[in-house]
Amino acid sequence: MTGQDPTALAGAVQSVTNPLFLQLVDDAGLFPPTSLPMSDALARHYTDEDAAEPILTHRLLCPIGRLDELRALLTRPVRAGIILDPSESPDLDGLAELTNVAVELVEVALPAGADVSALAARVREAAPRARLFVEVPAGEFAHLPPGVGAKVRCGGITADLFPSVHDLGAFIRTCAQRGTPFKATAGLHHAVRHPDPTLGVYRHGFLNLLLAVCAAVDGRDPVSVLELMERRELVEFARTVRPETALRARELLVSYGSCNTTTPVEDLRALGLIDHAAPSRGTATSAVTSSAVSPATAPAASTAGAGTADSSEEGRIVTSSWVPGADASPYGLANLPYGVFSLPGEAPRVGVRIGDHVLDLAPALHDEVFAAASLNGFLARGRTAWSDTRRLVQRLLSARATEAAANRAAIEPHLIPLRQVRLHPPIEVGDYVDFYCSLEHATNLGRMFRPDGEPLLPNWRHLPVGYHGRSGTVVVSGTPITRPRGQRLPGPGRPPVLGPSVKLDIEAELGFVVGTPTRLGEPAGDFADHVFGVTLVNDWSARDIQSWEYVPLGPFLGKSFATSIAAWITPLEALQHARVPGRAQDPEPLDYLRRREPWGLDITLRVELNGEPISTPPYREMYWTPDQMLAHMTVNGASLRTGDLFASGTVSGTEPGRRGSLIEITWNGTEPLKLSDGQTRTFLEDGDTVTLTATAPGPDGSVIALAEATGTIQPAQPS
């Protein structure tokens, strides 16, 4: 038995190169969650028939127990698929007596051990032209008799009815290997895979399913296609499917049932895979296209399962939140940083900050990845999941969403005032790399320590200089910083001594958190594919220990005692309005370091000492941009791990009030910093508290904040 007749399909599509979508969707309007009355279902069905939309099969799915009701209300003949009661011996008497109903399909879910061959014989007798599709337990699927198709359930009204991508992929793979046609049922509400916060599952997309069958036909893994949530990738895949692959795939995937016959068409139009003009009767094939619009210009479908959404709707969604105080906060819908928090007596878990509240993500989104004590599990899901989750959270918290009242009722119980929570390290740091990317900082230090020579070393303008730090001493904001001990020179010509540092300093930096890893030997690709977000970093530095030890191998104990990061990681997507072209570079760097996109960032840092502002370093003036840092640190094949952290090095501007370290502000202690209370500082003293904050442009002239990184100096441990 075959699925679609390939000869008929090829004739129907004529000049159309991709027949993937023809006669794909059965009308399941009588079934949940729509559950239309029979009269309404028939009225809609007749309207769809008159419109002649080619994506629809124009086949009405009807439970066998409602055939009498169907016949009583018919005003013209219909094509139908009949759904039998799930039993080993369903009643087929009604099938043989039908008039004005062309029974094309019979579908049934059977219990374990059912005699499928006997049922197939009964169906042939009652409805000779109908094809039988059976849903059986997984262990019995491979034993379906010839001439019987399979049926797969892709979801339902409870979370347990949704198969995993691996189970669904195994089903598709087996069908492709055996040549078994199949039908899909339930749960395929939209084209693209997306999270459903109500059920706490990821809903399969019908486009994912269809393209996964194409992959299996070509001998590739269907699971990776089922997992995709990036619309552009799916659209590009659909456009490159060969006609022979499309025909073979549709022989296997006969159709799927949808309770809504409008949404599948709207989704495919929004993705640019079919024409936007509705076809007239008799010209159905004109609606299917393989080149209507480019993926780059196709509007995005909604991730919240509520239809398609264009960019104007997305812009409207983020303009206002129902969370009290969020709209006036630099932590509004355009920001939404991620962190890890706990309540007294409870385990740490992942949340998103919105205004002065934390959204507890695990119960809000019904996703256990957020019940973990770090972001690493979520980060490992990759860029598509990051983006889809962000849009979903924005919609759930938006006062402008059409379903805002229902969202608020569901989500508000999971909002916790920030003052009630304890914050924890947001990530499990993998490797830590610190760079030296500020031209002003490098020049200032060169002039201090090489006053008679060239301030920059010969390599500095050719590559972003960096070193590997100590990830085990990266601490969350608020962690006290113990003054380090180490070897230092007490004065010229004197031997080194062991003791507490007397030149303890700060370095105001911007850090970048890696989500998507790479394999050993594989340089990193696109920056935004690997880097999830940013955080403020204070790379505490003992200048006296550092100056004695760093020649010839670089920083060691003068840097490794502590590095503070913020408790909240700001997603890269929140910084889209802060992106600027990088600073001009001379000489032009080697090809692997050439900038492909503008990843300069218009972020202004602020350094406070004991609550008093002392500097506002400008990140946008950095010489080397973060995409160049990533390219350089992986060009040799060094792998990335989820949770890796790399930092910019000290951010400094040209004026003293814009420098990001005390060694520059005080010119190595020769020009003491005067504080408003009359005190002075050259370097940090015990009890001093340093706080880094930062702001960046948001949409429509708004401002978003990067969370603070703060630490207080504690006396050195006794020897």
DSSP annotation of 643: T
DSSP state letters, 307-328? SB--HHHHHHHTT-BSSTT-TT
To the question of whether residue 505 is assigned a binding role by annotation, the answer is: no
Distance CA 341, CA 348 (A): 5
Residue 581, amino acid: P
To the question of whether residue 529 is assigned a binding role by annotation, the answer is: no
Comparing CA positions, the residue from 603, 600, 612, 609 lying closest to residue 536 is: 603
Contacts (Cβ under 8 Å, ≥6 apart) of 601: 510, 534, 575, 578, 579, 580, 619, 620, 625, 626, 696
**Cβ density class 101-113: b for 16+ within 10 Å, e for less:** bebbbbbbbbeee
Asked if 215 contacts 285 with a C-beta cutoff of 8 angstroms, the reply is: no
Q: Name the token pair of 349.
A: 């878990």
Classify burial at 509, counting beta carbons within 10 Å of its beta carbon; exposed 0-12, middle 13-18, buried 19 or more.
buried
Asked if 526 contacts 507 with a C-beta cutoff of 8 angstroms, the reply is: no
From the CB of residue 27, how many other CB atoms can be counted at a distance below 10 Å? 29
To the question of whether residue 479 is assigned a binding role by annotation, the answer is: no
Bridge partners of 362?
none
DSSP annotation of 74: -
To the question of whether residue 4 is assigned a binding role by annotation, the answer is: no
In the structure, how many helices (H) and strands (E) does the chain have?
21, 36
- Helix, strand, coil proportions of the chain in percent (round to 5)? 30, 25, 45
Asked if 168 contacts 204 with a C-beta cutoff of 8 angstroms, the reply is: yes
Comparing CA positions, the residue from 422, 421, 426 lying closest to residue 474 is: 426
To the question of whether residue 650 is assigned a binding role by annotation, the answer is: yes
Comparing CA positions, the residue from 209, 265, 263, 201 lying closest to residue 234 is: 209
Our answer to whether residue 143 is catalytic in this structure is: no
To the question of whether residue 434 is assigned a binding role by annotation, the answer is: yes
Active-site residue among 189, 204, 441, 530?
Answer: 441
Bridge partners of 253?
182
Comparing CA positions, the residue from 145, 132, 221, 143 lying closest to residue 183 is: 132
Angle in degrees, 0-180, between the axes of helices 404-411 and 383-397, rounded to the nearest 10: 100
Asked if 507 contacts 538 with a C-beta cutoff of 8 angstroms, the reply is: yes
Question: Kindly report the CA angle at 666 between 661 and 669, in degrees rounded to 5?
Answer: 110
To the question of whether residue 586 is assigned a binding role by annotation, the answer is: no
**Cβ density class 154-193: b for 16+ within 10 Å, e for less:** bbbeeeeebbebeebbbbbbbbbeeebbbbbbbbbbbbbb
To the question of whether residue 66 is assigned a binding role by annotation, the answer is: no
Asked if 287 contacts 54 with a C-beta cutoff of 8 angstroms, the reply is: yes
Q: How far apart are the first and last CA of the chain?
A: 84
Distance CA 77, CA 57 (A): 15
- DSSP helix/strand/coil, 56: strand
To the question of whether residue 46 is assigned a binding role by annotation, the answer is: no
Q: Name the token pair of 179.
A: 């040549």
- Residue positions in the annotated binding site for substrate? 436, 450, 546, 550, 650
Tell me the catalytic residues: 441
- Which residues carry a binding-site annotation? 434, 436, 450, 507, 509, 539, 546, 550, 559, 563, 650
Which residues are known binding-site members for Mg(2+)? 539, 559, 563
